[in-house]
Amino acid sequence: MRRVPLLSLAALLAAAVYSAPGAAYAQWIFPGTSTSTYYDPGYPEYRPQARAATRGVVGYRGYGPGTVVISTSQRRLYYVLGSGQAISYAVGVGRPGFQWGGTHSITRKREWPDWRPPAQMLRRRPDLPRYMSGGINNPLGARAMYLGSSLFRIHGSNEPHTIGTAVSSGCIRMTNADVVDLYNRVRVGTRVVVLR
């Protein structure tokens, strides 16, 4: 007979809602997770979401400081700091048939970007809206960094559960808190290397 693990009563009690007095938002706090404390004053309806830690500083060599390196096989994005270190972020990547590699640069940056699905995506998914204004329900999330003249972007997500998976149409997805962190570090012209 197969046993199904149950959450302990202590774990259930620890999954409580926290709301600081006078705070504009509440956070779920779960055992073993770190919550995002990011709050975007430009979009007051945005609420932080509980999530497992998705970034940290790691040892990394091979590229110059300021370079963004994406390993699609590891599902990690590295922002190279120099001195043998980089910030490592968990990312979602292209599903089978939508993987790609190469070198680009960031050509545009947008906060809470609008979304217009490309024609190729609409052919596959005619049910998608033709246009969606920026906001918390937008698939591009809190920030987008456009890569060269391609249709690909590094962007946030309204589906944080997909981070660490291969489900996108080729774009690189990040949690909204992580994409804001990266967005604040890079500039237009930053080199982006995508490794398969």
**Catalytic annotation, residues:** 155, 171
Q: Residue 20, Cβ neighbours under 10 Å: how many?
A: 9
Q: How far apart are CA 83 and CA 85, in angstroms?
A: 6
For the chain, how far is it from start to end, CA to CA, in angstroms?
42
**Beta-sheet strands, E only, within 4-157:** 16-18, 27-29, 34-35, 50-51, 55-59, 68-71, 76-82, 85-90, 93-94, 102-111, 143-147, 153-155
Residue 11's SS3 state is helix
Cα gap 144→155, rounded to integer Å: 4
Q: Which residue has the tokens 């997909």?
A: 162
Residue with tokens 């994406």: 70
